[in-house]
């Protein structure tokens, strides 16, 4: 549910079949021996020095050798994998040995992240998951600390938590903001709550006109009430003082450190602005990033033209930075009634949501991106938007299939559109952490008849489509990938509700869930030869968990703890 562009500090599986030559009888209980018993070795053996030998319990996700006891890592890649005895026999006397606790899985990927927005969250007023009264208390405290005239920024509010679940008003913020302009993003990034001072600075009054693709929420008298939706957010965001490069780079550094603490070894950063691309380059000046970044540039005119002129950038910073995707936002979000539906919202019969990109413009963006070698990812949440975007992908033909189109969110998918994902070769990039949030309001928005179209994760997998999963944080309740794993298997929010699971027929196995967070995400970024499974030749990107997700009860998945994160053989986080 991402923002169309970075406006303020807050925002910003099917695994491809591979050809394998198998020697009969090679598969063993732990590790498989290609030329050696008990393990995999690289072509030509392991005569070269092996820098690190990790021992422990490894879940490889390689169907030929699903478990291992040790791996040998050299120059950031897995040199050998298999039994401990085998690795000891090939590692050489100069190898550094280290025992890893818990259980090691392929490094997590957040396939829909917002690093700049996360960095902003870490330095702003966080109002996720709290009552309106607590929101106002936190704004009052921030306003009391702020220098005279300074903006108070924050986000994460969600009126579906409140009773009644109505949009808030500028007057409520005015009462606690002590004259400071205030801007607070809704959790989905598709609406903001501002106070009277912010609207005054932006020139938003009764006569203000919302731009195409946006909405100014008004009271019964027609006066702007303090909530701006989708492209109307620009009316106020353009007067918010921008951060300088040093501030943005600091926030990005903090965000990447946070991702590493969650066990994330790679992010797909969705909808990145030119300013935030500059922030990445500033960090790359200090060396490789602590988390690999697969960047999707925003499709606003300035960013789009500049990025296309330069062309794709793959594997900079010792393989930690790639920019090869254009991210388009086609509609809004379901929570703020901006997602484009084929028929009106159940709880607002006058509203069907927004179309943010005219159809000829969408075709043009796709064609120009493909011509310059870019992948295209399109945010589509409502069923009408999803249908139209699939039509646009289909019109692109074979070139589009080769480019691995991505449909971001896939929040509502009609029965007639479900098989089209695999038919067109579209990757479904979904965020199962929204299960808990959608359980609170989805039926009110779309009604019982359309509810089975919402977040149909299992149906997508069974259709044969490639599934990649992420969190969309901070547009969701959490950025912790453990929540993705638990939500997929239990269909519960991170707090364990609803007890019986929401639309429980969409539950998937631990294996499917993990693959969507690793191998599926790697495929979505053209990285399936390097990441997603623990195999010889792959990057040594590892997430160390406190327990084996395959061996515990589904309800216990949310209690897993990340003990260590390793990127290319480098430890980026350790508890």
**pLDDT tens string 259-282:** 999 999 999 999 999 999 999 999
Q: Is the pLDDT of residue 5 over 70?
A: no
pLDDT at 398: 87
Q: SS3 of 454, please?
A: strand
Q: Taking the CA atoms of the chain, what radius of gyration do you get in angstroms?
A: 24
Mean pLDDT of the chain: 91
The mean per-residue pLDDT over the stretch 415-435 comes to 98
pLDDT in tens, 163-217: 999 999 999 999 999 999 999 999 888 899 999 999 999 999 999 999 998 999 9
pLDDT in tens, 561-571: 999 999 999 99
Task: Write down the pTM of the prediction.
Answer: 0.85
Report phi then psi at 404, rounded to 5. Answer: 60, 65
Measured from the Cβ of residue 98, the count of other Cβ atoms closer than 10 Å reads 12
> What is the bridge-based pairing of β-strands 224-230 and 214-218?
antiparallel
What percent of the chain shows pLDDT beyond 70? 91
**Domain range annotation of the chain:** 31-107+531-575, 116-237
Write out the two tokens for 30: 């732990």
The mean per-residue pLDDT over the stretch 478-506 comes to 95
Beta strands in 75-171 (DSSP E): 77-82, 96-106, 108-113, 125-126, 152-157
Contact residues for 516 (Cβ-Cβ < 8 A; gap 6+)? 13, 430, 461, 467, 468, 469, 484, 488
Q: Which option is the CATH number for 31-107+531-575: 2.40.170.20, 2.40.50.90, 2.30.40.10, 3.30.365.10?
A: 2.30.40.10
Write out the two tokens for 497: 């509700």
- Structure confidence at residue 39 as a pLDDT band (50, 70, 90): low
Q: Are 562 and 543 in contact (CB under 8 A)?
A: yes
Q: Are 393 and 405 in contact (CB under 8 A)?
A: yes
* Rounded Cα distance, 375 and 400, in Å: 8
CATH class of 116-237: alpha beta
Top pLDDT among 57 and 213 is at 57
pLDDT in tens, 503-540: 999 999 999 999 999 999 999 999 999 999 999 999 99
């Amino acid at each position: 549910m991402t923002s169309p562009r970075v406006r303020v500090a807050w925002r910003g599986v099917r695994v491809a079949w591979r050809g394998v030559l198998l020697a009969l009888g090679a598969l063993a209980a732990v590790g498989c021996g290609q030329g050696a018993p008990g393990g995999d070795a690289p072509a030509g053996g392991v005569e070269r020095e092996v820098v690190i030998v990790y021992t422990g319990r490894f879940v490889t996700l390689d169907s030929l050798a699903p478990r291992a006891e040790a791996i040998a890592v050299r120059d950031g890649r897995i040199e050998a994998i298999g039994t401990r005895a085998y690795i000891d026999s090939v590692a050489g006397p100069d190898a550094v040995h280290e025992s890893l606790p818990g259980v090691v899985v392929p490094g997590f990927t957040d396939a829909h992240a917002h690093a700049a927005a996360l960095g902003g969250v870490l330095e702003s007023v966080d109002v996720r998951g709290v009552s309106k009264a607590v929101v106002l208390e936190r704004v009052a405290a921030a306003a009391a600390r702020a220098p005279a005239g300074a903006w108070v920024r924050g986000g994460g509010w969600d009126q579906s938590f409140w009773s009644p679940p109505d949009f808030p008003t500028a007057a409520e913020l005015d009462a606690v903001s002590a004259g400071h302009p205030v801007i607070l993003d809704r959790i989905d990034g598709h609406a903001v709550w501002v106070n009277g001072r912010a609207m005054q600075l932006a020139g938003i009054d009764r006569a203000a006109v919302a731009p195409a693709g946006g909405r100014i929420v008004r009271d019964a008298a027609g006066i702007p009430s303090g909530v701006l939706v989708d492209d109307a957010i620009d009316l106020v965001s353009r007067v918010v003082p921008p951060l300088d490069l040093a501030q943005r780079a600091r926030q990005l550094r903090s965000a990447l450190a946070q991702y590493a603490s969650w066990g994330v070894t790679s992010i797909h950063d969705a909808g990145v602005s030119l300013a935030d691309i500059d922030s990445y380059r500033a960090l790359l000046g200090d060396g490789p990033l602590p988390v690999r970044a697969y960047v999707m540039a925003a499709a606003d005119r300035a960013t789009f033209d500049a990025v296309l002129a330069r062309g794709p950038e793959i594997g900079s910073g010792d393989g930690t930075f790639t920019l090869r995707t254009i991210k388009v936002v086609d509609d809004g979000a379901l929570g703020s009634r901006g997602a484009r539906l084929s028929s009106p919202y159940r709880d607002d019969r006058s509203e069907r949501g927004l179309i943010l990109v005219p159809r000829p413009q969408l075709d043009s963006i796709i064609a120009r991106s493909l011509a310059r070698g870019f992948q295209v990812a399109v945010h589509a949440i409502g069923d009408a938007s999803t249908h139209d975007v699939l039509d646009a992908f289909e019109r692109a033909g074979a070139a589009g299939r080769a480019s691995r189109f991505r449909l971001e969110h896939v929040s509502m998918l009609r029965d007639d559109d479900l098989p089209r994902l695999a038919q067109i070769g579209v990757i479904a990039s979904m965020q199962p952490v929204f299960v808990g949030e959608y359980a609170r309001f989805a039926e009110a928005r779309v009604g019982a008849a359309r509810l089975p179209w919402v977040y149909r994760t299992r149906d997508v997998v069974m259709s044969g489509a490639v599934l990649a999963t992420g969190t969309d944080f901070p547009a969701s309740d959490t950025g912790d990938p453990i929540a993705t794993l638990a939500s997929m298997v239990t269909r519960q929010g991170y707090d364990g509700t609803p007890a019986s699971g929401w639309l429980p027929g969409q539950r998937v196995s631990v294996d499917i869930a993990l693959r969507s967070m690793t191998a599926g995400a790697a495929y979505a970024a053209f990285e399936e030869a390097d990441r997603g499974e623990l195999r010889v030749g792959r990057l040594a990107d590892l997430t160390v968990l406190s327990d084996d997700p395959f061996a515990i009860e589904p309800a216990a998945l949310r209690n897993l703890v990340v003990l260590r994160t390793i990127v290319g053989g480098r430890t980026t986080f350790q508890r």
